[in-house]
Chains A and B, each alone.
Chain A
Amino acid sequence: MSYAIQAEGLKKRFKETQALDGVDLEARTGSVLGLLGPNGAGKTTAVRIFATLIRPDGGRAVVAGHDVAREPGRVRAAVGLTGQYAAVDENLTGTENLLLIGRLLGMPRRVAKGRAAELLDRFQLSEAGGRAVKGFSGGMRRRLDLAASLVGRPQILFLDEPTTGLDPHSRGEVWDMLRGLVAEGVTALLTTQYLEEADKLADEVVVIDKGRVIAEGTPDELKSAVGGQVLQLRPLRPQDLERVHALVTEAAGGETHVESGMIIAPVKDPALMPAVVRRLDRADIPIGELALRRSSLDEVFLALTGHRAEPAQRPEEQPSSPDDAAFERVGSTGGGS
C-alpha cells in the first residue's frame, strides 16, 4: 500500500502553545483523510507543515514521497492548497487568477489560458470568469480558490476547512467537486469542524485534540468503537421531558442529555431499551418517539474530547481562534527555498 502523506511524531510549538505534540498519521494514495478536531487542536498547523508553509520542530513528514523539510520544492510541485479563506486576488478576474497560477507554474500563455477555461467550466464559473472576484459570492470564491489549487494538476490536495462559512447549498457543491477529484485519483487531506462533512467525504478519520491524535479509523469504525449505539426518546407531552430524563438517566446509569426535546442516552447494556420502556410504562408516561441508532460522529467527538465540536459559525474572513492561520503565521519560521 502506498501513502501520499505520512507523518511521524510531528511537533510544532508557537511560543506558549504546543500546537502539535507528536502527531502520527498517514493517508493512502487516492483516499480522503479527514482531520478532525476542535478549534486550536492543531489541524491547521498540520496542514501548513504538509504544504511546506512552516517547518516542524520535531518528527518528520513525507508528502508525495518527499520530506517536507528537506525537499520543499518537490513537495510543492505535487500539492495544491486551499486555505481557510479564499486566497484569491479580489482585484483580478476569475480567469486572471487562474492564469496567474498557470503562468507561475511555467505554462505557456496559451496552455495556461486553456487550463483556466477548463477549470472555470468545471467549477461552473465560466460566466463569471471575466468579472473581478470582488463581486463574487462566498461560494463562488471558494470554488475559484479550489480551482486555483488545481491548476497544476496536483496529486495531493490539502483542504483546510474548505466549507467553513458556506451555506448548505454551496457546501454541497464543494463536496461534489471534491468527490469528482478523488474519483480521478487525487489524494485529499481535509480538515473540518463539520462532522457531517468528514462522515460524508472521508475514507478515514484522524481525530486530534491539543496537538495529539486521540482516535483514528474509518467513520464507521469510530462510530461503533467509540460511540456504540444511542437511545433516542421523545415523550409525547413536552412537559414530561424532565421526568423522563431523570428516569432514563437512572436506567442508563450515566451521561444522558437533552437535545431539541429529545433525550439521548448512550447504550452500554442491550437491556437498556426494554428497561426504559418498562419504567415508562409503569410511570404511565406516553412515549412519542423511541429509537435505537448508531451514534453520530458528533457524539463520537463528544465522547473522545469531552466537549462538542464547535458549530463553526464564524464568518469567513474573521479568523479569531488560536487555530487560525493568522495566529500561526505570526509564530511561523520560514521554511523553504
Chain B
Amino acid sequence: MTATTITAPLTKGGRVRPGAGLRQTGTMAWRSLVSVKHNPLELVDYSITPIMFVFLFTYVFGGQMAGSPEEYLQYALPGIIVQNTLFMTMYTAMSLNSDLTKGVFDRLRSLPIARSAPLFGRIAADLAKQLWAMLLMLALGAVLGFRITGGLEGFVGGGLLLLVFALAVSWSAVLIGMLAGDPEKVQVFAFTLIFPITFTSSAFVRVETMPGWLQAWVDINPVTHLSDAFRGLLVGGEIAGPVLWSLIWAAGIAAVFIPLALRAYRARA
C-alpha cells in the first residue's frame, strides 16, 4: 500500500464539515436504495403487499360496504394508502435494528463521518420508498377505477401531507429500532401496535357505524384525521380540519419522539 492517505473530510478542528456531512447522508441513502436491487423480497414487501391490500379491500369488502367495489375503492383507497404508509415506517426500525445488531454501525462509527449521516440517510431513503409505494398504489387504483377529483394541487398536497406524517412517525420507528433486541421483535411490535390503530379509524369504514365508546377513540385517532385529510385532498370532502389535525398530530409525535430517538441513537448506534 502506498503512503498516500486520502484527505478525510474534516475541518482543522477534526470535525466533519457540514457539506461533507450532507454528502455522506446522500451516500447512506444511496446504500439503502441500491440494496432493493439485490433484495427482491424487499420489493415484494414494498409493492406486492399494498397491491394485495388494494385488491382485497376492493373486491372482497367493497360490494358489501359501499354497494359496489368501485364506489368502495373511491372511499377506501386513501385509507389503504395511509395504513400502508404507517406500516412502512417500521421498515426504518427494522433496517436500523439490523445494522445495529450486525455490527454495521460499529464500522460506520469508526469512520470520520458525521454521526447523523447513517440515520438521516436511512430516513431519507425510506421516504423515497414511501413515495414509490404511494404512487404505485394510486396507479393501480386508477387502473381499477379510482379517480383523483381533487386536481393536481390535491394530489401534490395529499402526497406531501402523507410524507410529512410518515417523517414524524419514522422517529418513533428510530426509537423502536434502537431499543429492540432483534429485527423480528420490531416486526411483532409494529404489527400489534399499528394494526389496531389503523383499523379503529375512518380509514376503511365510516365512523357512524361504530359503537359510541369506539367512536370516542376513533375521533381522536390520528389515523382518522390523516385518512380524512388525504381522502379530502384526493377525492373531495372536508379538508381544512383534518389537515390541521393531521399536522398537529405529526408535530406532537415529532416533538415526543425526536428527542427520545436521538438520545437512543447516540447511546447505541
Q: Which of B9, B27, B100 contacts A100 (CB 8 A)?
A: B27
The verdict on B268 contacting chain A, using a C-beta distance below 8 Å, is: yes
Do the beta carbons of B267 and A334 come within 8 Å of each other?
Answer: yes
Q: Give the chain A neighbours of B241 by CB distance below 8 A.
A: none
The verdict on B188 contacting chain A, using a C-beta distance below 8 Å, is: no
The verdict on A80 contacting chain B, using a C-beta distance below 8 Å, is: yes
Do the beta carbons of B39 and A132 come within 8 Å of each other?
Answer: yes
Q: Give the chain B neighbours of A66 by CB distance below 8 A.
A: 14
Q: Which of A74, A325, A334 contacts B14 (CB 8 A)?
A: A74
* CB of A84, distance to nearest CB on chain B (Å): 7
The verdict on B34 contacting chain A, using a C-beta distance below 8 Å, is: yes
The verdict on B149 contacting chain A, using a C-beta distance below 8 Å, is: no
The verdict on B238 contacting chain A, using a C-beta distance below 8 Å, is: no
Q: Give the chain A neighbours of B3 by CB distance below 8 A.
A: 185
Do the beta carbons of A337 and B31 come within 8 Å of each other?
Answer: no
CA gap between A73 and B110 in the complex, in Å: 9
Q: Give the chain B neighbours of A42 by CB distance below 8 A.
A: none
Q: Which of B5, B7, B106, B114 contacts A53 (CB 8 A)?
A: B106
The verdict on B206 contacting chain A, using a C-beta distance below 8 Å, is: no
* CB of B219, distance to nearest CB on chain A (Å): 41
CA gap between A103 and B103 in the complex, in Å: 19
Number of chain A residues close to chain B: CB under 8 A:
57
Number of chain B residues close to chain A: CB under 8 A:
44
Q: Give the chain B neighbours of A84 by CB distance below 8 A.
A: 103
CA gap between A86 and B198 in the complex, in Å: 39
Do the beta carbons of B38 and A92 come within 8 Å of each other?
Answer: yes
Q: A100: nearest residue on chain B (CB-CB)?
A: B31
Q: Give the chain B neighbours of A105 by CB distance below 8 A.
A: 6, 8-9, 111-113
| The stretch of A9-17, A148-156, A246-254 that contacts the partner chain | A148-156
The verdict on A18 contacting chain B, using a C-beta distance below 8 Å, is: no
CA gap between A106 and B40 in the complex, in Å: 30
Q: Give the chain B neighbours of A181 by CB distance below 8 A.
A: 1
Q: A102: nearest residue on chain B (CB-CB)?
A: B6
CA gap between A139 and B4 in the complex, in Å: 29
The verdict on A29 contacting chain B, using a C-beta distance below 8 Å, is: no
The verdict on A295 contacting chain B, using a C-beta distance below 8 Å, is: no
The verdict on A127 contacting chain B, using a C-beta distance below 8 Å, is: no
Do the beta carbons of B27 and A52 come within 8 Å of each other?
Answer: no
The verdict on A107 contacting chain B, using a C-beta distance below 8 Å, is: yes
Do the beta carbons of B112 and A186 come within 8 Å of each other?
Answer: no
The verdict on B10 contacting chain A, using a C-beta distance below 8 Å, is: yes
* CB of B6, distance to nearest CB on chain A (Å): 6
Q: Give the chain B neighbours of A86 by CB distance below 8 A.
A: 103
The verdict on A302 contacting chain B, using a C-beta distance below 8 Å, is: no
Chain A residues packing against B (C-beta within 8 Å): 48, 51-53, 66, 71-74, 76-77, 79-81, 83-93, 96, 100-101, 103-107, 132, 134, 145, 148-150, 152-153, 155, 158, 181, 184-186, 317, 325-326, 329-330, 332-334, 336-337
Chain B residues packing against A (C-beta within 8 Å): 1-10, 14-16, 20, 23-24, 27-28, 30-31, 34-35, 38-39, 42, 100-104, 106-115, 117, 266-268
Per CB-CB distance, the 5 closest pairs between chain A and chain B, nearest first, are: A91-B35, A77-B8, A73-B14, A87-B103, A334-B266
* CB pairs A–B below 8 angstroms (6 shown): A48-B106, A53-B109, A77-B10, A89-B31, A105-B8, A153-B4
